[in-house]
Structure 1
Amino acid sequence: MTTDPKQHWENVYATKAETDVSWFQDSATPSLQLIALTGARPGDAIIDVGGGASRLVDGLLQAGFEDVTVLDLSRSALNAARQRLGPKGQGVHWIDADAPQWLPERRYDVWHDRAAFHFLTESLDQDAYIERLKQALTIGGHLILGTFAPDGPEKCSGLPVMRHDAESLSTLFGQGFSLIDHRRHEHQTPWGTTQRFQFSTFRRTS
């Protein structure tokens, strides 16, 4: 990728309203349902990787989760979420970092990523991401990964993506991650088009 990722996403969030991006959701219901299926409890540590200005954090707080972290390489996106939440977001941990280069300082029980991993089109970046995941996710913890499906878009926000299915993700993450659920989801963009996603949930076994 020749475009600097941080510069690209800072520009996106600085120039577009929350509802003017294709990935906007009024509610992160699909992700919240998958997190519930893992059996996550209010005290469990959850990280939303590439969360940006997503409303997943709103839903998690409303559901009673107390240990929520949002990681994104765009400070503008994180600031938008913080401003939206106001005092309700005081207990949220905000991390301004690029996931493949981030150095985790603690462990998490649930690692959620909707539409960040699929921007990693080079094997070196994918390997670095997986290494960070292994450093941060507890044994027995869950990985929830939402990517464009094989028949989904080839680009997003002008950038190329790597489309995946459950089989390709299982191959990438390898031993130590057991696939427990996979499903397709059709996301409706704010302007009425459909984007086909693949959500895969893994349990870390070693």
Structure 2
Amino acid sequence: MTSEEHWNQVYRTKSPLEVSWYQPWPSVSLDLITLANLPPDAAIIDVGAGASTLVDALLEQGCSAVTLLDLSTQALEVSRTRLAATTRARFLTADVLTADLPEGGYRLWHDRAVFHFLTRTDDQVRYVQQAHRALAPGGFLVIGTFAPDGPSRCSGLEARQYSAASLSAVFSPAFRTVEARQQEHTTPGGQVQHFTFLLLQRQP
């Protein structure tokens, strides 16, 4: 089963409100995005957006150029249906590692829980290269991964865990760390998962 088939299967068999990563309000992501202090028309890409409600919050705050990228057409269709009344979001079905993204096309890149599924070093390197290329000089990257005491598997897949220091090291020197946060996320099933979040800034 390909990665695309895997995630389409997840969203075919579970409600978006039942998946372990569901959160009604993405508070940490929004706090870090706010720290980036971007204008409302700044181009933002949410990598692994799935059916996340982050886009809803961003649109409510006046953001006018949000792109949702995900491997799963099934997941993006959930968001497309939910956001049917607005045309301010763009939908892109693609693998972040191979997606043809515009060079310097975004001011902010957001990823909550994609990077920790990249267990191969070459995939991690490719991810950093993609983010650096797609972000404009001085642009920001908000990333959330499982913390050192977070799960080692999720949705049947192996996952990596990161401290703020180890995650920062993976993105250095292409990015510098601006802010680090920790989060206790409670899943719809009542389990607590620990996350590490960073706000990073693209270096020349």
Q: Indicate the residue corresponding to 1:84 in structure 2.
A: 82
Q: Indicate the residue corresponding to 2:175 in structure 1.
A: 177
Query: What is the CA distance between 1:173 and its match in structure 2?
Result: 1.3
Query: What is the CA distance between 1:119 and its match in structure 2?
Result: 0.4
User: Given the alignment of the two structures, is residue 19 of structure 1 paired with residue 30 of structure 2, yes or no?
Assistant: no
Alignment of 1:99-118 (within 5 A): 99-106=96-103, 107-118=105-116
Query: What is the CA distance between 1:16 and its match in structure 2?
Result: 0.8
Whole-Å Cα distance in 2 between the matches of residues 165 and 139 of structure 1?
26
Gaps of 5+ in 2: none
For the residue of structure 2 that corresponds to 1:95, the secondary structure is strand
Instruction: Please say which of residues 60-69 and 158-167 is displaced more in the overlay.
Output: 158-167
How many residues end up aligned between the 2 structures?
203
2:200 pairs, out of 191, 199, 202, with: 202
- Could you say which structure has the higher helix fraction? 1
Q: Indicate the residue corresponding to 1:59 in structure 2.
A: 57
**Cα RMSD between the aligned structures?**
1.0
1:136 pairs, out of 124, 134, 137, with: 134
For the residue of structure 1 that corresponds to 2:100, the secondary structure is coil
Whole-Å Cα distance in 2 between the matches of residues 102 and 112 of structure 1?
15
List 4+ stretches of structure 1 deviating above 2 A. Answer: none
- Equivalent AA in structure 1 for residue 33 of structure 2: I
Query: What is the CA distance between 1:205 and its match in structure 2?
Result: 2.1
Whole-Å Cα distance in 2 between the matches of residues 174 and 205 of structure 1?
9
What TM-score, normalized by structure 1, do the two folds share? 0.95
User: Given the alignment of the two structures, is residue 29 of structure 1 paired with residue 27 of structure 2, yes or no?
Assistant: yes
Gaps of 5+ in 1: none
Whole-Å Cα distance in 1 between the matches of residues 35 and 132 of structure 2?
21
Query: What is the CA distance between 1:34 and its match in structure 2?
Result: 1.0
Whole-Å Cα distance in 1 between the matches of residues 63 and 108 of structure 2?
12
Query: What is the CA distance between 1:170 and its match in structure 2?
Result: 2.0
The question of whether the paired residues in 1 share the 8 Å contact of 2:132 and 2:174 is answered with no
For the residue of structure 1 that corresponds to 2:39, the secondary structure is coil
Whole-Å Cα distance in 1 between the matches of residues 113 and 170 of structure 2?
16
User: Given the alignment of the two structures, is residue 98 of structure 1 paired with residue 95 of structure 2, yes or no?
Assistant: yes
What TM-score, normalized by structure 2, do the two folds share? 0.96
The question of whether the paired residues in 2 share the 8 Å contact of 1:178 and 1:205 is answered with yes
For the residue of structure 1 that corresponds to 2:173, the secondary structure is coil
Whole-Å Cα distance in 2 between the matches of residues 110 and 195 of structure 1?
25
Query: What is the CA distance between 1:85 and its match in structure 2?
Result: 1.4
User: Given the alignment of the two structures, is residue 162 of structure 1 paired with residue 160 of structure 2, yes or no?
Assistant: yes
For the residue of structure 2 that corresponds to 1:185, the secondary structure is strand
